[in-house]
Structure 1
């Protein structure tokens, strides 16, 4: 049986000449996920290209700069631009507390108000310094996405099993 993989980032470019790649993280635990010794998989259009081991990690602006074992030059990583970094399910070993979730458990969930009005589905999660923000795609074409701050005052229930999030609407949140 083949292993299940979860996306943790996109390789957006190379960095300098020593084989580093610039990664836009899409993970709840970037410092843990990209630490030295982490095993990741590189996928191109849904196909496994190569499995790599991180042997260098640092942050630069909004990116994570990664270096992979046995990839000493830019020529070794140039072809990875535009590819996805994934982690095998067996490598996802973080213990989550009661109110913690993996991003991919949240994306796609239906969002309702406490009055049971359907708002749409979570399209993505934006990481901001103050808190994460759920981007909700409304079911009506042409309507703007709704931005829901992931804070206790707004997000009342996250039920991954039922595929649903319940929020308490704040003034100005939904137009």
Structure 2
């Protein structure tokens, strides 16, 4: 299984370097992986491995150099590709911490009801916010703060999250 960590957004210079957008919390963290797996957007093909010789911050962005890519035309061929790594290559997290991709798809419930399914997560600065698709069709998305006070339990094995949160539509 793969995790998307960024995408290639252009070329940089004439020696085959690419510009990329990193999705990692600290953008330079994408550079700690020696092998990336590249895949075209919406492709069902198996991602292709490529060795990363160098990856660094450059101004407000990131640039990288691949093994065997030595000119601008070769680098241009990678434009738009998704940057993936194997999930097994991600560093382990301390107990009680999770990668966002582990939380997407979990069923969220409070003490009384199933609320919905985690669709995405927003980074707001103060705390992350879970964006849940309601179990009731036609209802708006439900936003739940991802804090220790609200999130009571995460069970990845069962695919569930228990929260202390009562969406206003449940109070009708």
CA distance in 1, matches of 2:58, 2:150: 31
Q: CA deviation at 1:24?
A: 4.6
- Per the normalisation by structure 2, the TM-score is 0.77
Cα pair 1:135 1:146 within 8 Å, conserved:
yes
- Conserved 8 A contact 1:9-1:24: yes
In 2, Cα distance between equivalents of 1:59 and 1:164: 40
Output one character per residue of 1:49-75: Cα deviation in whole Å (capped at 9) or x when no partner. 5322331222765xx523132335443
Q: 1:90 to 1:111 in 2, by over 3 A?
A: closer
1:8-23 aligned within 5 A: 8-11=5-8, 13-14=9-10, 16-18=12-14, 19-23=17-21
Question: 2:135, 2:143 → 1: CA distance?
Answer: 14
**Cα distance in structure 2, aligned partners of 1:135 and 1:169:** 13
In the alignment, does 2:139 pair up with 1:143?
Answer: yes
Find the structure with the greater CA-based Rg.
Answer: 2
Query: Alignment partner for residue 105 of structure 1, among 102, 107, 113?
Result: 102
Displacement of 1:37 in angstroms is: 5.2
Residues 1-175 of structure 1 mapped to structure 2, 5 A cutoff: 4-11=1-8, 13-14=9-10, 16-18=12-14, 19-25=17-23, 27=24, 30-32=27-29, 34-36=30-32, 38-44=34-40, 45-54=43-52, 55-58=54-57, 65-70=62-67, 71-92=69-90, 94-113=91-110, 115-169=111-165, 174-175=168-169
Q: Deviations over 1:26-52 (max 9, x none)?
A: x567543x1255311001213235322
Over 3 Å counting, the alpha-carbon distance change for 1:89 and 1:29 in structure 2 is: farther
Question: Number of matched residues?
Answer: 163
5+ residue gaps, structure 2, are none
Is the Cα contact below 8 Å between 1:112 and 1:118 reproduced in 2?
Answer: yes
Match of 1:95, SS state, is coil
Give unmatched runs, 5+ long, in structure 1. none
Contact 2:129-2:144 within 8 A present in 1 as well: yes
What value does the CA root-mean-square deviation take over the aligned residues?
2.7
